Amino acid sequence: MSDFLEKEALDQSAALEAGEISVEELMKLTLDRIEAVNGDVNAVVALRDRDELLAEARAADAAPRKGWMHGLPIAVKDLANVKGLPTTLGVPALANAIAEEDEIMVARMRAAGAIFIGKTNVPQLGLGSHSFNELYGTTRNPYDLSVSAGGSSGGAAAALAARMVSIADGSDMMGSLRNPAAWNNVYGLRPSWARVPSEPKGEMFLHQLATLGPMARSPRDVAALLDVQSGPDKRQPHGCSYDAVSPLIGAPVNGMRVGWLRDWGGAYPMEEDLLDTSEAALNIFDDLGIEVELVDPPFDAALIWDSWIKLRSWAVSGSADVLYASPAMRDELKPESIWEIERGLSLSAKDVHQASLIRSQWFTRVNELFATYDALLLPTTQVWPFAQEKRFPEEVAGRKMDTYHRWMEVVIPVSLLGLPCLSVPAGFGPNGLPAGLQVFGPRGSDSKMLQIGQAWHEATDFAARRPSILHDA
């Protein structure tokens, strides 16, 4: 019966609807799997009481179906509020900060029938692509427990890989849905910015870098969750209605044309074998009838970086200034968080304006490329999953990293503009660790990115490779 956890989320949903398995049985399988592997992986945190969850599962069995997620066990990223559960952001002082209400995205998943079993682990404040914090500890990679699961949606991706959940939410500022997807051999979609609304609180006009989004073990599951999460919120100034993507997921992709940006002409250093693994996977596009062309660097990478780190620090300081202003809270912030906040506080209005001007110029240039290409491609990461004891890589391919996040630079051409981007599994390196490819397009082209991803998924067996943690589970 544990083989049922290998099924994709939509297949689990169909089996529940057909009465082939009960919600209670699925919950038991899920909690048994968590008991078996989570002690090593440390992906699910703040897990609710087993008896309480089984009672909720029995109630779901007796109730009319609410939606396609009815009865599916879900663990929510520990940056989002779930009523009755702690929202800690990985900060020990917030260990008992119990949410009084669901966030918009969580409320939408609950309305579709999801059962929330706990949270998934994150780096402190979601900063850095390695999910460790002083409250819950470090999330390890199910494919190799000695290395990182990535972040900031590292707990979500590792839980998916270890089959503790079949679908997961995440968020992405600097690759947080994409980097852990690549390192855990799953799919992570950064949607078009404002497609999935965040909470209508604080400043709502200026910051356009971070977004919520879905993760899963197949693009069709990603599409189904995106449809649940999507839709405007009238209390917010940005956002618009989008057509559902699930009905479009199987559209043909032959005849499309994509541009391969490789390592941006050497601007993004890559660890050994990473580019070779990525380029070997590109042959799959030929099999799908998609033409791949190598594209020269379309914009100055140094300008993109300069724009990014200013706008990111500005955004982080705006959202985390309350924690920083409290001496007690500040004492619990990691050095990287303090560096980011203080850097943002030091920026002038002119600094921010100049950074956004560069962003605007890059937006204009990339849209010229999209007049030629249906999508553009980049590796999802510049490094393989690194030793879980490390805070972050200080050097990549012989090049010193000058910030705690410079090793993730390959994701920022997308993040800076709020473009839709799907990270797809790209196979495994000689070290046995997973790699990923970013497939991104113009704003609003989420469905096309998912169509390419689904065709890729059906043409490959990368995502079917089970992690080593499951060999004895």
Two tokens, residue 435: 């790699």
User: Residue 239 has what pLDDT?
Assistant: 86
User: Residue 240 has what pLDDT?
Assistant: 81
For the chain, how many residues are written? 473
Q: Measured between alpha carbons, how far is 122 from 393 in angstroms, rounded to an integer? A: 18
**Cβ-count burial 59-93 (b if 16+ within 10 Å, e if not):** ebbeeeeebbbbbbbbbbbbbbbbeebbbbbbbeb
User: Residue 472 has what pLDDT?
Assistant: 60
Low-confidence ranges of the chain (pLDDT < 50): none
Question: Would you call the peptide bond into 152 cis, given omega within 30 degrees of 0 as the criterion?
Answer: yes
Q: What is the CATH number of the domain that holds 414?
A: 3.90.1300.10
Structure letter (DSSP) for residue 96: T
Structural domain boundaries, residue 81: 2-470
- CA-wise closest residue to 427 among 72, 165, 103, 182: 182
- Please tell me the total count of domains within the chain: 1
Question: Which amino acid makes up residue 46?
Answer: A
> Alpha carbon of 401 to those of 15, 125, 176, 229, 393: distances in Å?
49, 21, 19, 36, 7
